[in-house]
Amino acid sequence: MAARGIPEDILMNTKLVNDLETVAKDAALIHGVLMRTNESPNSSEMVTYAPFTLFPSPVSKAVFLQALAVQTHFNLLVDKVSQDSVFLKEALASTIAVDDFTGRLFSIYQQIQKEGRSQSIVLGLNRSDYMLDQKEDRISSLKQIEINTIAASFGGLSSRTPDVHRHILRVAGRLEESQRVLDNNSAAGLARGIEKAWELYGSERAVVMFLVEEAQRNIFDHRYIENELWKRNIPTIRRRFENVCMTASLDQDKRLFVDGQEVAVVYFRNGYMPQNYTSERSWEARLLMERSLAVKCPDISTHLAGTKKVQQELARHGVLERFFPQQPQVVEQIRATFTGLYTLDMGPEGDQTVEMALSQPDQFVLKPQREGGGNNVYGSDICQVLERVKDSNERTAYILMDRIRPSPVHNYLLRRDSPLKLTSCVSELGVFGAYVRQGKDMVMNECVGHLLRTKSIEHTDGGVAAGVSVLDNPLLV
């Protein structure tokens, strides 16, 4: 492990590790690091611990602080992009022509642009994800994988994992390391953003509606944020698209009512993948909510600002300066986190990207316009995809990104019904941001917490919900 991580003699102590496995699983249950089971995704009668690491993983303190410091700039960047209709139209023009899902979202965006926004309050709850790129000189640098502007998950459960790892380390006799596991209350920070938007909406009777998926294994992640809102006397409800389809309406002032309750804030924990829209009625429900006076998190323009194509366009020379004129330090801080991002648009530049990817596929990741984990393409699979689409517009549904190569460490990944074994792992650091804008006034802009997820080096892609990564905590070194 890296310097000042968990020592090898602890990792290799079979008896201690076996004892700690039982302690760890019980601690996770005690502290509420929970998920429903695959067998009963919509029932809390049967629950299990959410997958997590036995020990916290080492993360450079300097790089960790860099990620926290740049988050408020990323909040502003997402918000500025969402307000720039010319940029969004130009950036997404090629993608919406071939990607039906992004095209449907964009058509809703255009309709709202044409009709005019009903609500001037904007709420953003996002998560910027990074890996530490290990160069030959052994120096790690922070490189952004993506920014999630819709349904950024695990703010709830990541608020509970520090106590679990502290307890494990105390039992292992590692008091000094236990004191290096940071407090992290992302749930409270995300709830503060929702609270501010709810207050500005201005009706104490109005509710916050969590728009949720059909299968809700990850309900406890939501519940921690819900409970933070109830502590503040802010009522919440949970509804699916089908509930909105059947019971939603707008009054003459465009106030949104669902099941007869006025909705102040729609918090989308669903709607980020094509399969979330099971029928035309789902799309009609999305449009109805966008038209309404309710604050949307995210609204349709902020959703589009989080697409991979926008990420690639922002990495172009001079584009950040468009959004931060006369702010070279902000531009520098943001750009320092970018890795190579390349267009696959039709034309000489896109042709060059195709040739580059086909000649060295192991150096890159091919990314479609999708969220939720498990969508990216790696290695020889890149050649298969690009050989199929290289001469057609279909290739513009993707972008190409340099592959980030973190330095592996050793840890144990605790999963239900999986054997305990020492595994070579890599980690991904997420940083949560919350912002609220009313008209032209930014009334809240904060970094509100972090998330560390770890996976075996055998896996290239995928998150916790996708069954690949597990929850973790940074042990600052």
Which residues carry out catalysis? 127, 146, 148, 153, 308, 367, 371-372, 453
Closest CA to 412 of 31, 30, 108, 11: 11
Give burial (CB, 10 Å; 0-12/13-18/19+) of 325. Answer: exposed
Give burial (CB, 10 Å; 0-12/13-18/19+) of 90. Answer: exposed
Please give the C-alpha separations between residue 138 and each of 132, 145, 448, in angstroms, as whole numbers.
11, 20, 30
Residue with tokens 């980020």: 272
134-150 burial: b if 16+ Cβ within 10 Å, else e: beeeeebbbbbbbbbbb
